[in-house]
C-alpha cells in the first residue's frame, strides 16, 4: 500500500488580500482564506491523515486546523512543540489513553515562507513603481537573487528541503499518511525535489492557495495522485 503526502498552501491571508509582501510577518487568514481552508478540508475529508507538519506562522496553522475541522477523523489535532521549550514541557499529554486520540501537528520554522527582508509590509505595486518592474520581478522570480536583507528561493530551499528529507520523509517511510500545511515558496522547494524540477523549471510553478496537491509514496519514489 502506498502512503499519501498532501501538500496544502495556506488560504489567502490578509496581506495577500492587500497585495503586500508578507514573508515572515505573522498575519492571519482573510475571510476568503478561511473559506478556502474549509473547502480544502471537505476535499480531504475521507483521506487518511496520521500526522501534520506546519510552519510557525498562524496562516498555515489556521489552514491546517480549519481543514481538519472538516475531516472525518475523531482524533484531535494537537500542536507539538520542541521538548526543550516551556510549551513543549507544560503542554505534554500524560494519559496514554488520551494520547491515542491525538493527531500530532509538528511546528517548525523550516517550513516557513521565504523571508522577503526589507520588502515585507510594502505593497507589491508600490514596490514596482519605486524600484521598477524588472528589479521586483528579479527579486520575486529568480532562483538565487535575494531581495534586500531577505532570502532567495535557493535559500528557502536549503532550509526547507533538509527538514523534509530528514524528518517528513522518514515519517512516510514508517507508513504514515502526511499533511504539510505551509507556504507557496516552502512548498515549491518540496515540489522541486518531488518532481525533479530544475532551478529554471521551478520558477514557473505556481501553487494556488487552499488547493491540495496529492502525491503517493511507495518503493522509495513519489508519483502524483488525485483526490
Task: Just list the catalytic residues.
Answer: 10, 113
Nine-digit cell at 207? 501553487
First to last CA, the chain: 17
Nine-digit cell at 119? 520588502
Nine-digit cell at 137? 520581478
Question: Which secondary structure element, helix H or strand E, spans residue 159, and what is its range?
Answer: helix 153-163
Dist. CA 64–CA 61, nearest whole Å: 5
For β-strands 213-218 and 3-9, DSSP reports them as antiparallel
Is the Cβ–Cβ distance between 65 and 34 less than 8 Å?
Answer: no
Residue 178's φ and ψ, nearest 5 degrees, are -120, 135
Quick one: three-class SS letters along 74-128? CCEEEEECCCCCHHHHHCCCCCHHHHCCEEEEEECHHHCCCCCHHHCCCEHHHHH
Amino acid at each position: 500500500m502506498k502512503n499519501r503526502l498532501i501538500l496544502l498552501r495556506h488560504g489567502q491571508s490578509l496581506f495577500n488580500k492587500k497585495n503586500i509582501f508578507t514573508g515572515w510577518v505573522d498575519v492571519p487568514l482573510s475571510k476568503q482564506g478561511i473559506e478556502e481552508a474549509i473547502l480544502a478540508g471537505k476535499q480531504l475529508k475521507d483521506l487518511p491523515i496520521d500526522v501534520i507538519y506546519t510552519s510557525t506562522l498562524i496562516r498555515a496553522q489556521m489552514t491546517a486546523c480549519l481543514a481538519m475541522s472538516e475531516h472525518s477523523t475523531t482524533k484531535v489535532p494537537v500542536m507539538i512543540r520542541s521538548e526543550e521549550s516551556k510549551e513543549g514541557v507544560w503542554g505534554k499529554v500524560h494519559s496514554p489513553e488520551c494520547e491515542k486520540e491525538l493527531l500530532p501537528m509538528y511546528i517548525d520554522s523550516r517550513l516557513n515562507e521565504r523571508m522577503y527582508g526589507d520588502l515585507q509590509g510594502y505593497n507589491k505595486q508600490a514596490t514596482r513603481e519605486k524600484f521598477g518592474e524588472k528589479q521586483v520581478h528579479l527579486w520575486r522570480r529568480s532562483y538565487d537573487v535575494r531581495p534586500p536583507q531577505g532570502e532567495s528561493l535557493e535559500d528557502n530551499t536549503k532550509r526547507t528541503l533538509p527538514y523534509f528529507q530528514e524528518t517528513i520523509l522518514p515519517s512516510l517511510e514508517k507508513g504514515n499518511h502526511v499533511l504539510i500545511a505551509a507556504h507557496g515558496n516552502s512548498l515549491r522547494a518540496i515540489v522541486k525535489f518531488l518532481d525533479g524540477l530544475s532551478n529554471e523549471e521551478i520558477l514557473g510553478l505556481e501553487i494556488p492557495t487552499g488547493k491540495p496537491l496529492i502525491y503517493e509514496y511507495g518503493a522509495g519514489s513519489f508519483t502524483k495522485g488525485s483526490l
